[in-house]
Chain A
């Protein structure tokens, strides 16, 4: 099981989602790799009480 998924990755074209520092996506693009840059923000704008509520919903 474990090997198959990772070994499978080794046979695929890398398709990357970049969550965070944009330079990582830029570098991958320079290496002709398909990458989607996210516009990540802290959940609930960093509001801790709301984050706790969301956690109770399993998010």
Chain B
């Protein structure tokens, strides 16, 4: 073998552990994201063409084009979307991540995070809330209106408050949330409360209309997943620091676009290994069933890649309701994740496991060897655009991605 895989993986793990994801600003995609253009749409998951996009993502693209004023109706938007004039690229190619469809357009406000240890940045849109929202493929007038309010009111006020407050240490906040029943992917209630708590006084002190401020606070309060759009880029700028290490089999990206599931490996650079997205095994909200579900979608699995989410399931026993199990099952899932990771986190700890650090830095080789696939908790979208979340549960990534990646890894490093 040409490289010392163990050493390379230790390096990757060490970079992940020493990262300091920090919220530094709110900006817009156009201003902050490198390579962003008016007619470029960023999306969740590995590269995908308009032709291959699933229902919810197409709906989000339509909404995005309408938001940017590039189209006035669904028909116009669809024509434009298919015309070749619009470029589609993964959020991941631009240091960004997006939940569900993950559609990010030029004027959208984005959180800006910086990994203080290594200097790299990451970006994510602000979470719209639940139900009929763009990320689930909705593009009705109220969706566009909300997005505009977020750009005109929510983002500027939060930005001002943030600048008064100063940078927010995301690592510390996530660490606290994990000890309060969150896991950072499917359960974000505690962290959402913490961020509101931090910013509230600064919002109140702003020289702004009281009702405006109240609406901002209310908006965040009504959305238990508000913090998801912060936990995701926090994990993104953390794991990005471990990308491109020669000989490392650490998984630096896992992502889905509703059509394909894709992974990237540290020692294999930018190369994606994809396979058809799988279906989530979960429980459905009243009135919905398995036949209604869209395939697994979103960049939110960056949280598992970063050592939280499904990997910290033992911290969020409430989540197991979605997997139809008992708290002991949540613990067992986390325990089995230790078999496929390089290290244990020194900051993200799980009270139920005697404050053991979460399994961190997924090792492709161990995944394939043990047959233990990364455990992912996720929401389920309706397959028709714009209906919203219909359930939540556990999803297993397709084995093929990992087998293909292993083959490429072996071809490169043990030819």
Contacts and interface: CB of A to CB of B under 8 A. Distances in A.
Contacts of A56: 1, 410, 414
Interface in B358-415: 365, 368-371, 403, 406-407, 409-410, 413-414
B2 to A, nearest CB: 11
Contacts of A45: 371
Q: Is the interface of A mostly helix, strand, loop or mixed?
A: helix
A45 B372 CA distance: 10
Interface string A1-23: 00000000000000000000000
B5 interface: yes
A30 interface: no
Contacts of A48: none
Contacts of B368: 44, 50, 53-54
B369 A43 contact: yes
Contact of A50 (B1, B5, B406, B414): B406
Interface string B13-57: 000000000000000000000000000000000000000000000
B371 A41 contact: yes
Interface residues of A, number: 12
Contact of B1 (A43, A47, A53, A58): A58
Interface string A22-59: 00000000000000000001011101001001101111
A13 B368 CA distance: 35
Nearest to A52: B410
A30 B171 CA distance: 47
29 contacts: A41-B370, A41-B371, A43-B370, A44-B368, A44-B369, A44-B371, A47-B403, A50-B368, A50-B406, A53-B368, A53-B406, A53-B407, A54-B365, A54-B368, A54-B369, A54-B406, A56-B1, A56-B410, A56-B414, A57-B1, A57-B5, A57-B365, A57-B409, A57-B410, A57-B413, A57-B414, A58-B1, A59-B365, A59-B369
Interface of B: 1, 5, 365, 368-371, 403, 406-407, 409-410, 413-414
Given A41-B370, A56-B1, A56-B414, 7 more contacts: A43-B369, A50-B406, A53-B410, A57-B410, A57-B414, A58-B1, A59-B365
Closest 8 CB pairs of A and B: A56-B414, A53-B410, A45-B371, A56-B410, A43-B369, A53-B406, A44-B368, A57-B414
